[in-house]
Amino acid sequence: MSRRQISPNSLKILYRLNEAGFQAYIVGGGVRDLLLMQTPKDFDIATDATPEEIKKIFGNARIIGRRFKIVHIQFGREIIEVSTFRAAPENSVAIVGDSLARKVTHLDSAHSENGMLLRDNVYGDIEGDVMRRDFTVNALYYTVQNFAIHDYVQGMADIQRRTLRMIGDPLQRYREDPVRVLRAIRLAAKLDFAIEKNTAAPLQDCARLLESIPPARLFDECLKLFFAGQAQKTYRLLKQYGVFQILFPATGELLDQNDEGTRVLLENALENTDSRIREGKSVTPAFLLAAILWPPLHKLFGQKLAAGTQPLPAMHESAQTIIMAQLERLSIPKRYSIPMREIWEYQLQLPRRSGKHAEIMLGHKRFRAAYDFLLLRESAGEDLQGLGQWWTDYQNASAPEREKMQAEQMKTRHNTRTRKRKRRVKSPGSHSEQ
Ligand code: ATP
Ligand code: MG
């Protein structure tokens, strides 16, 4: 592994910690990705220095204490995470009680009844640290003392075999932290690795455990699942192991009923996401979430129309219901849920194209997303009578052509209205018109 590919700032931290008499390693995705010739997202550091000791060495260090107490060291825009070796959860007390008493600043490891790890701030040594990592390929420790990689769990062999293997007993490790279910799927898709048999076996049953994860953490993990360039592959694995159905229950239900429109819409939306990322275009969680939730929304909307509700309130009420239900699983921040709703509501506006409407629509800040969304719906088989093509043509048209298109709409609209009126006289009970 060449030092040139490693962020100079993280190397600097390793040297400074070594000079102060501590062990220090780069570990996790940074080492793994370099060995696989991929570009690492970040370089995490593990050390036997406590957060307080680290802070004394680095002026630019901040102790962060959410789930674990870790240290962030900031160099300009780069933030490097440094964490103190933690004891392996299952035998933390034993390890702490033996040789590592010096490191124990607080005894703070707790499990819930179902084996979930609640807190684990018990400091340990490198061997303990290895055991609390998830997969063997994530537990390779790189040191600048002899530029070697320390491998306690045959992670190198698994890199070569392109295999994702859980350290320890997979079932127990998923129970300790169900987010590992998502990590297994995300990393298998990202690295194009096979999930080792015993590591894969409990996935299906453990998917349910994700229900106990706070919706905010689950949402963060969800973004990582779908915006790392492998959304489609990730989604297929999520579905295969029954995890997608847990994350998005309403959409999952339609998939389980083999609803073809839902299946195609999701495949296309995720494929678009991946190709946009490949082309360096922007991707927004709001758009993808709007797509994932569209099938159940559309179904509910249809039911409300059939029951006689007007389109606009029907859309509002359906959006409210679908979002409220989804929030129980994933806490979607307002900055995503608001544009998501707008994309949906615009689907009711896009058919109105006569007179000035078309021009006003085009100027809206959400037009582009709403138009892309319309194309997505059509690609999944919704028959919108050429609406997408109309908007494509309209955007490409010259000013006089646009006026002609608007005028034509005016005529069709007039015709539809008279037709509707006539029909209404014939069948006053009909609610099928919009
Ligand atoms: P990415 O490429 O997404 O950064 P990563 O493996 O580096 O992948 P991080 O979230 O950056 O993922 O975590 C860094 C390391 O911390 C992991 O490689 C793993 O060793 C350990 N780790 C992270 N999350 C868990 C977890 N839930 N359980 C056990 N170990 C974990
Ligand atoms: Mg990482």
| Residue 425 scores a pLDDT above 90 | no
Angstrom distance (rounded) from CA 373 to CA 400: 27
Phi, psi of 122 (to 5 degrees): -95, 120
Give the model's confidence band at 87: pLDDT under 50 very low, under 70 low, under 90 confident, else very high: confident
Taking residues 203-208, what's their average pLDDT? 97
| 300 Cα to the center of ligand 2, angstroms | 40
| 434 Cα to the center of ligand 1, angstroms | 51
| 406 Cα to the center of ligand 1, angstroms | 55
Q: Point out which residues pair with 142 in neighbouring strands.
A: 26, 149
120 a catalytic residue: no
48 a catalytic residue: no
Ligand 1, atom nearest to 28 Cα: 18
Q: What secondary structure letter does DSSP report for 65?
A: E
**Which stretch, 37-46, 153-162, 357-366, has highest mean pLDDT?**
153-162
Ligand 1, atom nearest to 30 Cα: 7
Q: Ligand 2 being an ion, which residues bring their Cβ within 5 A of it?
A: 29, 42
Q: Which residue has the tokens 């769990």?
A: 153
Q: Closest by alpha carbon to 193, among 221, 141, 230?
A: 230
- Is residue 139 within 8 Å of residue 152, measured between CB atoms? yes
29-77 pLDDT tens trace: 999 999 999 999 999 999 999 999 999 999 899 999 866 789 999 999 9
207-264 pLDDT tens trace: 999 999 999 999 999 999 999 999 999 999 999 999 999 999 999 999 999 999 999 9
Angstrom distance (rounded) from CA 355 to CA 327: 39
| Residue of the CA atom closest to atom 8 of ligand 1 | 29
Tokens of 189: 């898709």
pTM for the structure as a whole: 0.86
Give counts: helices (H), strands (E), the chain: 22, 11
Residues at CB less than 6 angstroms from ligand 1:
28-29, 41-42, 44, 133-134, 138-139, 177, 179-180, 183
Lowest mean pLDDT among 115-124, 166-175, 320-329, 373-382: 115-124
Name the active-site residue from 33, 48, 129, 134: 134
| Burial state string for 231-255 with b = 16 or more CB within 10 A and e = fewer than 16 | bbbbbbbbbebbbbbbbbebbbebb
Q: What secondary structure letter does DSSP report for 122?
A: -
| Residue of the CA atom closest to atom 13 of ligand 1 | 28
| Residue 433 scores a pLDDT above 70 | no
Phi, psi of 184 (to 5 degrees): -60, -45
| 208 Cα to the center of ligand 2, angstroms | 25
310-344 pLDDT tens trace: 999 999 999 999 999 999 999 999 999 999 999 99
| 139 Cα to the center of ligand 1, angstroms | 9
220 a catalytic residue: no
375-407 pLDDT tens trace: 999 999 999 999 999 999 999 999 999 999 988
Name the active-site residue from 44, 125, 129, 158: 44
Q: Closest by alpha carbon to 191, among 37, 42, 45, 4?
A: 37
| Residue of the CA atom closest to atom 1 of ligand 1 | 29
